[in-house]
Chains A and B, each alone.
Chain A
Amino acid sequence: MRCPDCGSENLAGAEDCVSCSAPIASYAAQATGKDQKRILEGTIRDLKPHDAIALYPSRTVTEAVELMRTHKIGCVVVAEKGGSLAGIFTERDLLRKVAGRLDPSKTRLAAVMRADIEPLHEGDTVAFAFHNMAVHDYRHIPVEFDDGSLAVITSRDLLRYLCK
């Protein structure tokens, strides 16, 4: 098996890495076969993305919160008039940027949304969602479909898929 610390190959069953001496026995129970295939070959479509609730950047936080409450969701997608993705606004943004600081009825989404998030495409593999959620700690990722429509996947969708 490959040492997760230094990348050296080790004989199966080795307790410590031959190169860096890191303990690797606990990694021996690596998931293999079916699970790997599901991650490398499954697509974002298989995670069953939810239709996005989209708002223009000029709408207010209050409008976004009302829609999030109605649909029982933790994020809205912010889209330009042509339908292209401008960003997302999540409950974490509400906590970090709005609560106790700004008046939600007077704050536009453009000012508090996250604009730097890269969307995934419906045909991307599950590995990309897994990577973004595990390494970058995203809990909501916007998804673009071939027909131009937008959707969202959440960390719970991924967890459900992985543990199916």
Chain B
Amino acid sequence: MSIKTVALKEKLGHIDSLVIPIVVDESATYKEVVSKMAAQDRGSVIVTRKGAVVGIWTERDLLFKCVLEKVKASTPIGELMTPKPIILREDDTLGKAIEVMHEKGVRNLPLVDAKGKPKAIVTVGRVIRYLADHFPAEVVNLPPVLNQVTSDPEGA
């Protein structure tokens, strides 16, 4: 069986290694959001209004729209976010997530539960890690340093 026939048909709701997202209200400030993301080493936040997903703000938005523009620290993230992001549901497949990533050129997709509450963020990195689980020997069993040569014979 190939990756296409197995992993890509997996329902996103069944993949428990997805990242629990940082969720902020649209009134959260730029400064607050940046420091949360930096502290948790995350590339995106899901933005909500009364609990419903209304946008996403990513490190790409920081790079392209904010960092040289001298955005005020107190600016609400709702003014900077990308509104109406593509949202995935738990019964969507991993294959669909990958397709959307390729077609739309995005790397972070919010996943919501049946009530519309943010549950996870599907990132390219996590998808790769999930696929790596299907190739454990090839991917994990590599030396820490590439092409390394041992200087001493084993046991010497």
The minimal Cβ–Cβ distance linking B59 to chain A, given in whole angstroms, is: 4
Q: Which of B10-67 contact A (CB under 8 A)?
A: 30-31, 34-35, 37-38, 41, 43, 59-60, 62-64, 66-67
- Cβ of A137 < 8 Å from any Cβ of B? yes
- Cβ of B156 < 8 Å from any Cβ of A? no
With a cutoff of 8 Å between Cβ atoms, the chain B residues found around residue A35 in the complex are 2-3, 134-135
Q: Which 5 A-B pairs have the closest CB atoms?
A: A134-B132, A29-B6, A91-B59, A31-B134, A91-B63
Complex CA gap A160/B134 in Å reads 16
Name B's A-contacting residues (CB within 8 A): 1-4, 6-8, 30-31, 34-35, 37-38, 41, 43, 59-60, 62-64, 66-68, 73, 98, 101-102, 107, 124-125, 127-129, 131-140, 142, 145-146
Contact of B73 among A92, A95, A100, A127 (CB under 8 A): A100
Contact with B along A139-161 (1 / 0, CB 8 A): 10000000000000001101110
The minimal Cβ–Cβ distance linking A160 to chain B, given in whole angstroms, is: 6
Contact in complex: B124, A155 (CB < 8 Å): yes
- Cβ of A12 < 8 Å from any Cβ of B? no
Which of the listed residues B34, B98, B135 has the most CB atoms from chain A within 10 Å of its own CB?
B135
Contact in complex: B135, A39 (CB < 8 Å): yes
- Cβ of A77 < 8 Å from any Cβ of B? no
Name A's B-contacting residues (CB within 8 A): 2, 4, 27, 29-36, 39-40, 62, 65-66, 68-69, 74, 91-92, 94-96, 98-100, 104, 118, 120, 124, 127-128, 130-131, 133-135, 137, 139, 155-156, 158-160, 162-163
Complex CA gap A137/B127 in Å reads 11
Main secondary structure of the interface of B (DSSP, over half): helix
Which of the listed residues A27, A36, A62, A95 has the most CB atoms from chain B within 10 Å of its own CB?
A95
From known contacts A31-B3, A137-B125, infer whether A159 and B101 are also in contact, taking CB-CB under 8 Å: yes
With a cutoff of 8 Å between Cβ atoms, the chain A residues found around residue B131 in the complex are 134, 159, 162
Contact in complex: A135, B139 (CB < 8 Å): yes
With a cutoff of 8 Å between Cβ atoms, the chain B residues found around residue A36 in the complex are 135, 138
Contact of B124 among A2, A98, A99, A156 (CB under 8 A): A156
Contact in complex: A100, B138 (CB < 8 Å): no
Complex CA gap A158/B131 in Å reads 11
Contact in complex: B1, A65 (CB < 8 Å): no
With a cutoff of 8 Å between Cβ atoms, the chain B residues found around residue A94 in the complex are 59, 62-63, 67
Residue of B nearest to A139 (CB): B125
Contact in complex: B142, A128 (CB < 8 Å): yes
A-B pairs with beta carbons under 8 Å apart, 12 shown: A2-B137, A27-B136, A30-B135, A31-B3, A31-B135, A69-B63, A96-B38, A124-B146, A135-B132, A137-B129, A155-B125, A162-B3
Contact in complex: A131, B142 (CB < 8 Å): yes
Contact in complex: A159, B98 (CB < 8 Å): yes
